[in-house]
Amino acid sequence: MVGDNGYYDPVGYHPMWLWIACGIVALVLLWYIAVWFYPRARAPQRRPVVKRAPEEIVQHYLRLIDEIESANASGELSLREAHLKLSVLVRLFGEERSGTSFSTMTLSDLTEGNHAHIAHAVASYYPFEFGAAPSGDLAPSLQRAREVVR
């Protein structure tokens, strides 16, 4: 309706909109408070490393190599999978014996780090792991893994 001065009076808003705006602001503030005071995720607790005798470690890894050999012979593991497992196994053995993390090292890192026995074994597995169609005999690779472990 036009007022005395020829203009429309300001339109009043319904009070519900004020409550909606206040609610949104309150939710945003609660979000920031929750994020600020909510305890942050803690790093997972590492299990204590049980130190084993060197001979126990050697026997354990020799058993694992035997398991890979029997799984390949029974057809459970292909030649590529067996070499992948041998590569991981040799690296894990080196980690357990020396305390150095070999899992993330490249072949050149292993070679430069004076870990020739592990580097040589891993290098010999590469053609079988990454080749187009791996073929050949697993026996030399198993023997190389056993030499590293011994």
In a domain, residue 33? The reply is: no
Q: Which of 134, 119, 124, 143 is closest to 77 using CA atoms?
A: 134
In a domain, residue 40? The reply is: no
CA distance 87 to 95: 13
In a domain, residue 6? The reply is: no
pLDDT exceeding 70 applies to what percent of the chain? 83
In a domain, residue 11? The reply is: no
pLDDT tens readout for residues 19-78: 999 999 999 999 999 888 877 666 666 666 667 777 787 888 888 888 888 888 888 888
Structure tokens at 72: 């390949």
In a domain, residue 45? The reply is: no
Cβ atoms of residues 86 and 141 within 8 Å:
yes
CA distance 125 to 116: 14
CA distances 19 to 12, 23, 26, 27, Å, are 15, 6, 10, 12
In a domain, residue 68? The reply is: yes
CA distances 14 to 11, 18, 27, 83, Å, are 10, 8, 21, 74
pLDDT, averaged across the chain: 79
Query: Is pLDDT of 2 > 70?
Result: no
Domain count, the chain: 1
The per-residue pLDDT for 129 is: 67
In a domain, residue 85? The reply is: yes
Domain ranges, residue 116:
55-149
